[in-house]
Structure 1
Amino acid sequence: MKTLMALLLCTVLLSACSGSAKQTGKGSTQSPAANATGNAARHSGPRLALLIGNSNYGNQGMFRSLGHNPRNDVEHMQKALAAYGFQSTVLKDANLGQMDRQIANFIKNIPRGGTVLFYYSGHGVHYRGNSENYLIPVGRTIHTEGSIKSAAVSAHAIKRDLEASNAGVRIMLLDACREYVGNSKGVGERGMRDMQPEGSIIGFASTLGTAAYVDHNLSTSVYTGKVLQAMSDYAALPFEQLLKYAGAAVVTDAKAHGSAQMPRVETGTLSGDFCLGQCLDWSQTQRIRQENNRLKQQLGAKQARLQEQAQAQGLREENSRLQQQLLAARQTAEAMEKRAQVVTTTPVARQFAQNAPTTPPVLPTSTGSASSFFQDTLRNGTKGPQMASIPAGSFRMGDIQGGGGSDEQPVHQVSVAAFAMSRHEITLGEFQSFVQATGYQGVKPSNEWGCKAFMQPHFSQTANHPVVCITWLDAVAYTEWLSRETGNGYHLPTEAQWEYAARVGSESKYWWGNAIGNNKANCRGCGSRWDGKQTAPVGSFSANAFGLFDTVGNAWEWSCSAYENKYKGQEKTCLPDKKDNKNRVLRGGSWFSIPFGVRSASRSSWRPSGRHDDVGFRVARIY
């Protein structure tokens, strides 16, 4: 049963434009439709963000510790912002000196015309002495209202500095939770007062004098979670409209939990709309809907006519089509046989060669047969991961359906040689075998999100769950060990190999179609019992036609490819240099992703030394 604590939670989002991030990750850009001018031209500068999350207050007078929420908030925000080109600096459990220094450095380095975002999650208070809002650092004890100014950071001062900078867009997001403790109820005033924006947008999670609630069973704070979802769902909307949708979602949840939380949005004079993605021209939406309806009617009529014609042509047309397929199959089989004799030694290739004279060369439409699966033997006699043989082929890679992220472009044709891929994400049990055999202790991460330690997320797992809280470097170490143990060439899949295997011949959003359906995968909105909570045991859902499980959701999967914000060829190669700190691509989405983020085309990325409670991997093998 969820434990709800009523906290005085307030969030200020101050935005005249959008901030940037040091960490590049993958998220989503909503709807590339319409109005390419304006937003892109006005806000084309760098995007920078400073993200501060304070949780560990201990027993500091009026302030209690806030659990994992603020620390998770900054990590989730960093990853979401990275999808829109932000470079983020993250600071967790900062004292007054650390906050002052980092904020001053952030203000000092704001680029002319860029987009800047300041985000804070932790305790905050409205100080009645000067009618300003203050952010509370860790390591200070505050018992009286008079000590607030000297012990905390003025949010108003940060706002003034941002608005005095050369930034083209300014955002300030304060997810500031506070509660009265003991005899400290005379300190400050609950909530945060208005901040009178000038050329900015300010979003408050709760009005002055009202309290918000927090659920420690959630991965993030309530308001931040709704803002993150709105960032994913409404990236094509003006930012103030995005915040209104987030606020409406908070109100709905708050009422259900008996809370009077009421977010609000303030705007100053703005030079134009700012959208995280490409702004949609809303004046055209009605015309687009009408045109779409007209085209659907025309398509329906045309399909009916074609069906009548096809029935009239009967067996003659069917016979011609089959003859063409038979000829193409024979030509393909001959070319494949000449191209690589080594391929014909695999179970899938032998089956293909035998069937080629009579069977069209189409991708499988049912789960791979047992003859397509194998396991290499380790030196101690145990078996390695179960592998699926993936035949060579070509496919269209990228945002085929439209409406995806800008980094899913351009859609392009890619040819993939035959290879093998593990049927499941590597499990905790499989990875523990490697750790026990080698004494491997994992690299020291540069960033951790939702992980208690190496291989230890904040939720419980069994040996049959996908291993998470491992870095790219940890995953590579496992593939190197597996190669030594078996004498075969194991590696992380390239991004192109991963999407080819996940699509299994489809061009829809998911390998089974364009609708996420119910209980077909583990994601936030997939209809499974693990949604938004944790990983599911591997193989809990149906496999695709290659026999691969969990290519949709459950855990993001490391690839060996370097991340590019547009496809330029890196998706087909590995970046094996372990000293190269370029972001590596993540694929597949996770238990925390919304359905948009678990599409076959969805991409993310993370630094090779970063750990995450929703990031794991599967392996590939050279034939």
Structure 2
Amino acid sequence: MKRRMIVLLGLVLIAGVAVSQSEEMWKMRIHRSGETDEYIVADVDSITFHTVDTLIAPPMVLVPAGIFIMGDGVSSCGSNEREVTLTRDFFLGQHEVTNREYLEATQWAYDHGCVNADTTSVWDNLDGSTRELLDLDSDFSEIQFDGAGNFYLRESPSSYAQDAYPDGYDSSDHPVKEVTWYGAVRYCDWLSMLAGLPRAYEHSGDWTCNGGDPYAANGYRLPTDAEWEHAAQYDDERIYPWGNEGPDCSRANFYHTDYCVGWTSPVGSYPEAPVALGLSDMAGNVFDWCNDWWVCELGTNPVTDPTGPASGTRRALRGGSWSILDNTLRCAFRYGSPPYNGNVIGFRAARTAGQ
């Protein structure tokens, strides 16, 4: 605060001098990121300082546009192979959204009237929507609400979590669970609102993304089914996100004759299983929600910037989870779930580059 007062006093003194001097003599230059903005001080009526919301998007990785083969001829619902062209670079969350990140966003949304909550659930409060976003009334949920306006984290009381971490654990950096598809896209819209961007999703009807063209959306969104696979196998058509070597418990958190962990791991726990672009946990831990409606096979015709089926009852899931067998870890494995589920499902945000 002392520094701000000194700066403010200096600017006021400059403005006072500028009244009696040539405007060309007194200008203010603001330097940031190697660029300079210049202002005529006599044009400044007043200067005020104010706090701003500090919620920011999780770290993101740039995924270049390109052409790839979607499907591998082997994976469940990935046995069809087709050439896909993605014409736009995009950013994808380096890791799945964590409990801490989702809690901070939900607290912001609650404080600003964007959601309602009680001790059992968080539900939407924009555009007339009342969809459930986060199920708190589940042993799998590590986010809780005290009923008096505050969200907090806990260890899961489930036997899975307690057996996996008998000495206790910090749930902050574990991926959020029990978040519905609606809760995932709502989080993306909260990020857009804070960044001054248009919200990508409709919040009535089928919650269409940008009128059916997610690739042209300005705001944050979920990755399309095709974008997720492109990022996971970039750029050598690898079988698994880390390469072509088979899965084991050093590369991913999944079920391998027994549980590797038996619960989620903190994001980024497998540095020895790198995805080419530096993404983490593209296999195992929790499934990732995708933007598209899901249908098992997509056909073999080449396609550009695909958006999936026009309608459906399930949304696409990718990447497998801590409780599922190794066949789900393949880059081409595709699955779907009703959008109101969230048991072993999380997500990572995306955004089209250059928008």
The question of 1:462 aligning with 2:171 is answered yes
Q: Supply the AA of the counterpart residue of 1:587.
A: R
| Counterpart for residue 410 of structure 1 | 80
Aligned counterpart for 2:235 among listed residues 497, 505, 508: 505
Structure 1 vs Structure 2 CA RMSD: 3.1
Q: Which deviations, in whole Å up to 9, do the C-alpha atoms of 1:150-188 show, x marking residues without a partner?
A: xxxxxxxxxxxxxxxxxxxxxxxxxxxxxxxxxxxxxxx
Cα 1:389–1:583 change in 2 (3 A) is same
Deviates more, 1:484-493 or 1:439-448: 439-448
| Counterpart for residue 67 of structure 2 | 394
Cα 1:548–1:379 change in 2 (3 A) is farther
| Counterpart for residue 452 of structure 1 | 139
The answer (yes or no) to whether the contact 2:287–2:347 under 8 Å persists in 1 is: yes
Normalising by structure 2, we get a TM-score of 0.60
| Counterpart for residue 487 of structure 1 | 196
In the TM superposition, what is the alpha-carbon distance from 1:428 to its structure 2 partner? 0.4
The answer (yes or no) to whether the contact 2:270–2:281 under 8 Å persists in 1 is: yes
| Counterpart for residue 540 of structure 1 | 269
Partner Cα separation in structure 2 for residue 535 and residue 446 of structure 1: 20
The question of 1:473 aligning with 2:144 is answered no
Unaligned runs of 5+ residues in structure 1 are: 1-377
Partner Cα separation in structure 1 for residue 136 and residue 254 of structure 2: 18
Partner Cα separation in structure 2 for residue 601 and residue 382 of structure 1: 34
The answer (yes or no) to whether the contact 1:427–1:464 under 8 Å persists in 2 is: yes
1:148-547 matches, cutoff 5 A = 379-400=52-73, 402=74, 404-405=75-76, 407-416=77-86, 417-439=88-110, 440=115, 441=117, 442-443=122-123, 451-452=138-139, 458=158, 459=161, 462-488=171-197, 489-511=219-241, 512-525=243-256, 531=260, 533-542=262-271, 543-547=274-278
In the TM superposition, what is the alpha-carbon distance from 1:486 to its structure 2 partner? 1.4
In the TM superposition, what is the alpha-carbon distance from 1:485 to its structure 2 partner? 0.8
In the TM superposition, what is the alpha-carbon distance from 1:390 to its structure 2 partner? 0.9
| Counterpart for residue 573 of structure 1 | 307
Partner Cα separation in structure 2 for residue 445 and residue 384 of structure 1: 22
Partner Cα separation in structure 1 for residue 323 and residue 137 of structure 2: 12
Cα 1:499–1:599 change in 2 (3 A) is same
In the TM superposition, what is the alpha-carbon distance from 1:582 to its structure 2 partner? 2.1
Partner Cα separation in structure 1 for residue 133 and residue 176 of structure 2: 19
Higher relative contact order (CA 8 A, sep 6+): 2
Identity level (%) = 30
Cα 1:544–1:447 change in 2 (3 A) is closer
Unaligned runs of 5+ residues in structure 2 are: 1-50, 124-130, 144-155, 162-168, 198-218
The answer (yes or no) to whether the contact 2:287–2:319 under 8 Å persists in 1 is: yes
Partner Cα separation in structure 1 for residue 187 and residue 278 of structure 2: 23
Q: Supply the AA of the counterpart residue of 1:513.
A: N
The answer (yes or no) to whether the contact 2:175–2:346 under 8 Å persists in 1 is: yes
Q: Identify the structure with the greater helix proportion.
A: 1
Please state whether the residue corresponding to 1:479 is helix, strand or coil. Answer: helix
Q: How many residues align?
A: 237
Q: Supply the AA of the counterpart residue of 1:398.
A: G
Q: Supply the AA of the counterpart residue of 2:331.
A: S
In the TM superposition, what is the alpha-carbon distance from 1:622 to its structure 2 partner? 1.6
The answer (yes or no) to whether the contact 2:294–2:308 under 8 Å persists in 1 is: no
In the TM superposition, what is the alpha-carbon distance from 1:399 to its structure 2 partner? 2.2
Q: Supply the AA of the counterpart residue of 1:464.
A: D
In the TM superposition, what is the alpha-carbon distance from 1:609 to its structure 2 partner? 1.2
Q: Supply the AA of the counterpart residue of 1:486.
A: A
In the TM superposition, what is the alpha-carbon distance from 1:462 to its structure 2 partner? 1.2
In the TM superposition, what is the alpha-carbon distance from 1:581 to its structure 2 partner? 6.4
In the TM superposition, what is the alpha-carbon distance from 1:515 to its structure 2 partner? 1.3
In the TM superposition, what is the alpha-carbon distance from 1:573 to its structure 2 partner? 1.3
In the TM superposition, what is the alpha-carbon distance from 1:547 to its structure 2 partner? 1.1
Please state whether the residue corresponding to 1:554 is helix, strand or coil. Answer: coil
Partner Cα separation in structure 1 for residue 324 and residue 96 of structure 2: 17
In the TM superposition, what is the alpha-carbon distance from 1:571 to its structure 2 partner? 8.6
Partner Cα separation in structure 1 for residue 337 and residue 227 of structure 2: 19
